[in-house]
Structures are given as C-alpha cells and as structure tokens.
Chain A
C-alpha cells in the first residue's frame, strides 16, 4: 500500500508539471494583450508608442519566449511567490486566498447538503426498489443530472427573489449587515443550484449500492436472524455505502469546481470563479495560472484520495486482505 501511494504521488507530480506547462503555453499563445488597456481607444485616451509599451512589458515581466517565462514563473512559484496580478498589480496569492474561503464555503455547504440529502433518499429508493417512492426519487434525480445549472439558477432567482421576494438575488452579504445569517440567506440559492447535480449522482450511486448490498449474503443472514429491517439498513447497508460515497465525492470534485464557477457567475458570488472569469477577460495571466494551479492541485488530490479509497473499497482487494488475516 505504501509503495502504491508513493508511486501515485510521483505520478501526480509529473502530471502536475505537464498540466502547468500546458496551461502556461495556452495562455502564452492566446491572443489578446494584457496591455490592451493602454492600446485600446475605448479605454485609454493616450496611445503609447511601441517603445513605451515594450518598457512596460519589461517591467511587468511580460517579455521573453514561452520557455524562459515558464521557467521564471515556475521558479518563483516553487519559492511561494505567485507573482503580481497584471490587472491590479497586487499579489496573486493574497487575492486568491482572500476569495478562497468564499468558494470553499459554497462548495463545502453544497457537498454536505448533497451527502445529507442523498443518503436517506438513496437508501429509501434502493430499499423500496421499483416501488412508487423509488420511481419518484429516481425521476427527480434524473432531472437533477439533466438541468443546465445556470438556467436553473436564473429560474430560482426569478421565483424566489423576484416573484416571492424571499431571498436576495445576488452577492454574498447585504451591505452594512455583518451577520452569519445574512451570508446564509445569500448562500441558499447558490448552494441549492450547486448541489443539485451532485445530489442526483450520489442518490443514484447509493441506490444501486443499496440494491446490491441488500442481496448480499450477510445481509440476508442478518435479516433472517430477525434484526429489524431499518436497523439492518442503517447499520450494515449504509456502513458499506459510505466508503464508495467518499470515493465518488473525490471523483466528482472536478464537476463541483466547474459548477461553482458557473454558479458564482450567475449569483455574483465573490469567489474564485468570478475572480477567474475576470482574469480571463483581462488576460491576467499570472492570476489565471494561480487559479489553474490551485484547482489542479485540488483535483489531483481529490482523484488521488478517490483512487486510494477505491482500493480499500474494492471488494476484491478487501477479500484478499481478509483471507490473509484469517
């Protein structure tokens, strides 16, 4: 197991380097100039000469070929210097870390909500396989994976914010109000939108797992011993579902991150997603790289944990181990 983990870590490092190079070169070669602010008549009233622009590029570290710049950037990155944002010249790291809690909060809340909703729904559906309740839950979960998230978000804003006036339409807090309650009120709609897809995926997963487990021999045995069904469900079936759930959470991290980008733009949530969108629009390449690297690390770790846990959860591996122990 230890060897496997070490090997996977080494592989992750390689993957990471390749991804960062790939990301860097894409941004390097993409059209558009971070200095367009100084060259476009719709923003600036003074047109800089080519020399002045070159000087400016030099002072912003925007010169040299792609290899030089990558090495330069990577070297600094390794030392913990994420560079200065091109658009506001403030440290990238600080800005990302400022926004990070907002995104983590949103994603965490959505994840918790998904798991909390999915466990009972999945168990219920699996246990009552093909009954009306299963059909209902399944139908809803199909809807959940088929909804275009942004569209759903806008529809929710129209209904709950405009028509009913129950919840605020955008942002993270009411100006001048500093209470947790206020943030939660702002967070309700985004969290719902962000959790819908994952909840549906989890429900389906738990459902099929429950169906499988229910037919396992040991469950049959326990049931035949006269243990109440509910207890069996919670004690044995659920327990054996948990690990796979965590695995699938790890694997779905990418969807969650992508989802949070979209949800943040719909609801104007001041997180990484909106920061990233702004950065893309202004070709702020240090910022884009910072965010890419961060999300990439998170995804790699997520996939890595999922893989390792999957190893544990895989019945074949488990059985092998039990045979050894016995």
Chain B
C-alpha cells in the first residue's frame, strides 16, 4: 500500500516539475499576443544570426511597416508617474512619454507644453501660459487645472514628488493661482534666479486620472497611460520592458519612429553584445574601452556630450586631521589630476575639472586653472602639518561610475606623501547617511553632483549647507551664492559667479576631479541625433528617424 502511495506521489512530482518546466514557454505565449509575430520572430532569428555588426537589422523592421527604437536600461521604471519616478534611469524612460513645460538651454528656451513663461520685474512672479489644444494620451485637454493639480501633488510632501522645488523656495512655499484655462501664475516668497529653469522641467500629470486626489503615491493611475509626450503607453512589463508607441494627437511635430522600447539588459557587456547583434539601437558607453571599440566602426555612431556633473574629492571639516589648513594644501598638492582622469575615466569619458561648476553650467569659468601637483610642496606641508604617517579614511559611493578607480588612484598617489588611505565603498542608499553628517570619523569622500544650467540649484545646495553639511564654505562664498540667487541681471550674475569660483579655488573648498562625459553609441541608421546637446538624451524624440 505504502509503495503504491509513493509511486503516485512520485509521478505527481514528476508531472509537476514537467508542467513548470513548460511554464516558461506558457508565460511567453500567454501574454496578449499581437498579429504577425511568428514571421517577425523567424526573420529576426535569421537576422541576428547573420549580421555581425548590426547594420541591417531594420530591414526586417521596415518589412513589418513599423520601425522601433530599442534602448537598453538596467531596470524598468517603477511607475509611469513622472512626479514619483525620481531615479535618473526612470526619468530617462519617461522622457518620450511625458513632456516638460519648457527647457532652458544656455542661449535659448525651447518650449514644449508651455507657450511662454514670463517673470515680473521684481523677479517674484512667473506667469506660465500653456499651448492651446494640448491633449493627454486619453484625449482629454491639458489645462491650467492640471498644472494646479500637479503643483498640489508636489506641495503635498508626503508624496515625495520629484518637483518639490517648484513649489518651495528654501523652506517657504510658492503661491500659485489659476489665471484662466491656460494660464497659471506662480508667486515666490523671495527672488530665485534659477526658478525659471526649475519650473520649466516640471512634467504634468492629469488631474482627471487621479480624480483630483493629491495622495498619489499608491494610486492605480500611476501605472496607466497618463502621459503628454509624443509617445504613449503600449505595454509595460515590469522588470522586462516599457514599450511606447506613437501618439497620433501629439501637438508638436509628428513622431517619426513607430515605437520606442526600453528593454532591461542590466549588464553593460550584455548590452554591448546586444548592440553588436543588432538587437538594440542605442548603447550608453560604460567605459573608455567601449567607446574606443566603436570608433570608426561601420554601423555605429559615437556621440559625446558633457554630462553636466562634477565629480570631486571633499575633505570633512569636522575631522581633526584637517584642523591645520596646510594638511589640506598638502593633500591637494599631492594629487595628480591628469593621472586620475586618464586612469579612471580614459580618454573619452571625462575631462579634468577646474572649478566647482561644471562645463555645462551657466557662468562656468573656463579660464580658471585647476589644482596642480607639486610633490615637493606637498611633502613639506604634509610633514609640517603632521599629515605624513597618518592613516586616513576615504568613502566613496559604489553605485557611481569611476569612483572606485578614482579612490584607488588617490590611495596610490597619497603614498608619495606617506599617507595611508583606507578605502570604504558604501552603496547609494547608505552613502549620504554616512557622508553628510557632522561625524568626525572619516577624512575624505568622493562624491558628485548634477551641475547643469543655472548654478543656483544643486550646485549651490552642495555648498550652502543644504546637502554637503561638512564642506567648509566661508561666509564670503555663502554671500556670493545668495547674491547670485537674488540678482536678475545676467551680466552681474556672471561676475558674481566668476568671483565665487575663484574664491572656492583659493579656499581649497573641495578638489574638483572631473567632468564626466556622456558617451553613447547609436546604430548608424538612426538619424536626427545631432539635435541633442544636452543630457540625458533625447530631449525631443520627434526629431529622431530611421534612414
């Protein structure tokens, strides 16, 4: 009897494992199917088997009459609400899906959802006017009510929405009012020169989809088609892909490519393989080797843009090691910036930094000289200040590129002044808890910040105590930041910020290491990429087309 039971059990287990074994196939077939898939899959197989360089892969796409741009990403968006999707990778995927109001570039303003945005004389009131006839993806009109709703959601800080800086200046709230169906006015508590730029980046969400309820964090609408951009939702497979398709009622130029696909391929090498096989059309270079590997290769175009970030080495002002400023001077003089940039970044991935502003910032002072290595002085000062012979601790963020290599190079270089560096990497979500405190138990950290457009946003926050609380910013520099914020005249601001950069250099505020480059590679049939000079790409997807 028992034997029989075992037999039955055994066969059940076997069958179960067989069923689950086939399960992987079932899940594939089980998803909502689209027509003509068999054909395209076989065509694709042959293609990927044949083409080494990935030049001809869209021969097959043209034959289906609907071309698509496939972009690899390391993870899918967490949801489709641009207010909640604050990770850079997610924002990147939502850019064809949700339009911003307007974009302030170095010398022009490009308008998207907004028709205009004007500041009052005193710099306290901004009047935003939307374009007429805008539509959400569901066909409803985009109006001033949506702007008000979006602002309300940002003002409800429980949401942790990503554009909170549009409704607060400092800790003070901004007042906003509907003027008419397409116009909203924003009144600031104090002048803020960067507000124009900040407001422009705002992406709207539809009030009707959320029933006007500003408690949006777990709303189901976050996973639905709530966009305003040139591409609307086609399919979202969490952890796998986000498929967007052309939005026919788009107000701007008609999108030229049929669909945009963000496909999860987390490993950079796997991305590169997929690019070479023609499975994807875009590749964000992860290292110099990748860029070199695609230079002068048929079927690939290499693009290089300044990323608008500053990577820097900072010393912790609370740490006793730096009480004697000569120790800081010794540290700065001991470092060989060129070797760090060459070694960690390679020729194409970054350029040496000379100021605390990036080369993509307004008012960046190109003429300023960076810190130069001077080993004799370094040794002398290190001896004098007692830095020699010490063991110091350096933290870096393991989730940021080039940090590890930079840390290693610094470790090696400081051996020359007899300083032993202990390196400890911390991942992104623990990093700032450790680094931005008044603790004195570590000496150095490597960090980076976004520095694009107006310096009076993140850059100022890094030094005025908002974020980098342990940077030794002098009263003078703080005052210059304040002046810069309150001045509306551009020429005057340029002077203020020039002086500020010089001051920061003189005071050994931080050691700016590099301005990283944003290098990406596209398949050669993708055209229209030359329109983009800002990161992250692509600001306007309607300009892209396949040849």
Chain A complexes with chain B: yes
Q: Which residue of A99, A107, A274, A309 is within 8 Å of B266 (Cβ)?
A: A274
Q: Is the CB of A46 within 8 A of B168?
A: yes
Does any Cβ of B come within 8 Å of A235's Cβ? no
Whether A42 lies near B428 (C-beta < 8 A) is yes
Stretch at the interface among A71-79, A133-141, A183-191, A202-210: A183-191
Q: Is B409 an interface residue (CB 8 A)?
A: no
A39 close to B (CB within 8 Å): yes
Chain B residues with CB under 8 Å of A282's CB are: 429
Q: Is B123 an interface residue (CB 8 A)?
A: no
Cβ–Cβ contact A36 & B23, under 8 A: no
Residues of chain A within 8 A of B13, CB atoms compared? 246
Interface centre among A48, A56, A89, A158 (most CB of B within 10 A): A89
Q: Is the CB of A169 within 8 A of B270?
A: yes
Decide if B218 touches A40 in the complex (CB within 8 Å).
no
A254 within 8 A of B: no
- In the bound complex, residues from chain A placing their C-beta under 8 Å from that of B122 are none
Known: A106-B24, A171-B264, A176-B37. A84 touches B430 (CB 8 A): no
> What residue in chain A is nearest B467 (Cβ atoms)?
A41
B455 to chain A, nearest CB (A): 13
Q: Which of A99, A177, A266 contacts B37 (CB 8 A)?
A: A177
Residues on A with C-beta less than 8 A from B243 are 175-176
On chain A, the residues within 8 Å of B162 by CB distance are 44-45
Do the beta carbons of A168 and B279 come within 8 Å of each other? yes
Interface presence of A101 (CB below 8 A): yes
B2 / chain A contacts, CB cutoff of 8 Å: 312, 321
What is the size category of the interface that chain A forms with chain B? 35 or more
Residues from 69 to 93 in A contacting B, C-beta threshold 8 Å = 84, 87-90
0/1 interface trace, chain B 207-244, chain A, CB 8 Å (1 if under):
00000000001100011000000000000011111010
Given A56-B160, A175-B261, A182-B28, the answer on whether A162 and B273 have CB atoms closer than 8 Å is: yes
- How far does the alpha carbon of A173 sit from the alpha carbon of B432 in the complex, in Å? 38
Asked if A180 contacts B28 (CB within 8 A), the reply is yes
Q: A275 is contacted by which of B52, B70, B239, B263 (Cβ under 8 Å)?
A: B239
Known A43-B87, A104-B23: A179·B29 in contact at CB below 8 Å: yes
Whether B239 pairs with A45 at a CB distance below 8 angstroms is: no
Are the CB atoms of B28 and A179 closer together than 8 Å? yes
Cα A275 to Cα B25 in complex, Å, equals 20
B462 partner residues in chain A, CB cutoff 8 A: 41
B160 pairs with A38, CB closer than 8 A: yes
CB-based contact A171/B240 at 8 Å: yes
A267 CA to B33 CA, complexed, in Å: 24
Q: Which residues of A contact B23 (CB under 8 A)?
A: 101, 104-105, 108
List B contacts of A179 (CB < 8 A): 28-29, 37-38, 41
Does B461 lie at the interface of the complex (its beta carbon under 8 Å from any beta carbon of A)?
A: yes
A39 touches B432 (CB 8 A): yes
A200 partner residues in chain B, CB cutoff 8 A: none
Q: Kindly provide the distance from the CB of A177 to the nearest chain B CB, expressed in whole angstroms.
A: 4
Which residues from A are CB-within-8-Å of B34?
Answer: 176, 178
The smallest C-beta distance from B270 to any residue of chain A, in angstroms, reads 4
A31 touches B433 (CB 8 A): yes
The complex places the Cα of A36 from the Cα of B436 at a distance, in Å, of 12
Task: List the B side residues contacting A201 at CB < 8 Å.
Answer: none
A104 surroundings in chain B (CB, below 8 A): 20, 23
- Binary CB contact string for chain B from 255 to 286 against chain A (1 if under 8 A, 0 otherwise): 00001010111110111011011010000000
Question: Per-residue 0/1 for B449-491: is the Cβ within 8 Å of any A Cβ (1 yes, 0 no)?
Answer: 1100000011001100011100000000000000000000000
- Residue ID in chain B nearest A107 by CB atoms: B20
CB contact under 8 A between A270 and B264, given known A168-B274, A179-B37: yes
A238 to chain B, nearest CB (A): 12
CA of A31 to CA of B427 in the docked complex: distance in angstroms?
Answer: 10
B470 to chain A, nearest CB (A): 13
Q: How far is the CB of B158 from chain A (nearest CB, A)?
A: 5
A181 CB-CB contact with B under 8 Å: yes
| Residues on the B chain within 8 Å of A268, using CB | 264-267, 270
Instruction: Note all chain B residues with C-beta closer than 8 A to A187.
Output: 24
Kindly supply a per-residue 1/0 record for chain A positions 280-300, scoring 1 wherever the CB is within 8 Å of any chain B CB and 0 otherwise.
Answer: 011100000000000000000
- Decide yes or no: A48 and B157 within 8 Å by CB, A109-B21, A165-B49, A281-B427 being known contacts: yes
Instruction: Say yes or no for B416: interface residue by CB 8 A criterion.
Output: no
B147 to A: closest C-beta gap in Å = 18
Mark each residue of chain B from 56 to 82: 1 if its CB lies under 8 Å from any CB of chain A, else 0. Answer: 000000000000101000010011000
Greatest chain A CB density within 10 A among B34, B160, B164, B427 is at B160
Task: Let me know if B45 is at the binding interface, CB within 8 A.
Answer: yes
Contact B164–A174 (Cβ < 8 Å): no
Partner of B457, one of A45, A90, A246, A281: A45
Q: For residue B33, which residues in chain A have a CB less than 8 angstroms away from its CB?
A: 178
- Contact between B79 and A169 (Cβ–Cβ < 8 Å)? no
The answer to the question of A34 belonging to the interface, with a C-beta cut-off of 8 Å to chain B, is: yes
CA–CA, A105 to B241, complex, Å? Answer: 19
B367 within 8 A of A: no
**Cβ contact within 8 Å between B218 and A90:** yes
The answer to whether A105 and B27 have CB atoms under 8 Å apart is yes
Are B24 and A105 in touch, CB under 8 angstroms?
yes
The answer to whether B17 touches A111, judged by C-beta atoms less than 8 angstroms apart, is yes
**Is B187 an interface residue when CB atoms closer than 8 A count as contact?**
no
The 22 listed contacts between A and B (C-beta, < 8 Å) are A31-B433, A32-B430, A33-B429, A33-B430, A36-B432, A42-B448, A45-B162, A48-B157, A56-B160, A88-B222, A89-B222, A157-B270, A170-B264, A174-B41, A174-B279, A175-B68, A176-B243, A179-B38, A246-B13, A268-B265, A270-B237, A278-B75
17 further contact pairs, Cβ within 8 A, besides A46-B168, A162-B277, A266-B267: A38-B160, A40-B428, A41-B462, A43-B88, A46-B165, A56-B157, A56-B160, A89-B79, A99-B238, A105-B23, A105-B26, A108-B24, A171-B263, A181-B41, A242-B10, A270-B237, A282-B429
Give chain A's interface residues, CB within 8 Å of chain B.
31-49, 52, 55-56, 59, 84, 87-90, 95, 98-99, 101-102, 104-109, 111-113, 115, 154, 157-158, 161-162, 165-166, 168-185, 187, 242-243, 246, 265-268, 270-271, 274-275, 278, 281-283, 309, 312, 321
Residues of B within 8 A of A (CB): 2, 6, 10, 13, 17-29, 31-34, 37-38, 40-41, 44-45, 48-52, 68, 70, 75, 78-79, 84, 86-88, 157-158, 160, 162-165, 168, 171, 198, 217-218, 222-223, 237-241, 243, 259, 261, 263-267, 269-271, 273-274, 276-277, 279, 397, 399-400, 427-434, 448-450, 457-458, 461-462, 466-468
